Amino acid sequence: MKVDYSLYVCTDRDLMSSPTIEESVTLALKGGAGVIQLREKDISGRKFYEEALSLLSITKRYGVPLLINDRVDIALAVDADGVHVGQSDIPAKVVRHMIGDGKILGVSASNLEEAVRAENDGADYIGLGAVIPTGTKDDAEIVKFDEIRKIRDKVRIPIVIIGGLNENTIGRFKGMDLDGIAVVSAVVASKDPEKSARDLKELWLN
Summarize pLDDT for 133-184 with one digit per residue, the tens. Answer: 876 666 668 999 999 999 999 999 999 999 999 999 999 999 999 999 999 9
For strands 159-162 and 7-10, give the pairing.
unpaired
Summarize pLDDT for 179-205 with one digit per residue, the tens. Answer: 999 999 999 999 999 999 999 999 999
Could you tell me if 105 and 94 are in contact, meaning their C-beta atoms sit under 8 angstroms apart?
A: no
Q: Which ranges in the chain belong to alpha helices (H)?
A: 21-30, 45-62, 72-78, 92-99, 112-120, 145-154, 185-188, 193-205
Could you tell me if 98 and 105 are in contact, meaning their C-beta atoms sit under 8 angstroms apart?
A: no
At residue 30, does pLDDT exceed 70?
Answer: yes
| Closest listed residue to residue 85, CA positions, set 51, 186, 73 | 73
Residues pairing with 38 in the sheet: 68
- Residue 88 CB coordination number (10 Å): 7
The predicted pLDDT at position 137 comes to: 62
Summarize pLDDT for 112-126 with one digit per residue, the tens. Answer: 999 999 999 999 999
Measured in degrees and rounded to the nearest 5, phi and psi for residue 84 equal -120, 130
| Closest listed residue to residue 109, CA positions, set 81, 145, 140 | 140
**Where in 147-189 does DSSP place strands (E)?**
159-162, 180-183
The chain-wide mean pLDDT, for the chain, equals: 96
Q: For the domain bounded by 7-205, which CATH number is listed?
A: 3.20.20.70
The predicted pLDDT at position 138 comes to: 61
Cis omega (within 30 of 0) on the bond before 130?
A: yes
Active-site positions? 39, 108, 137
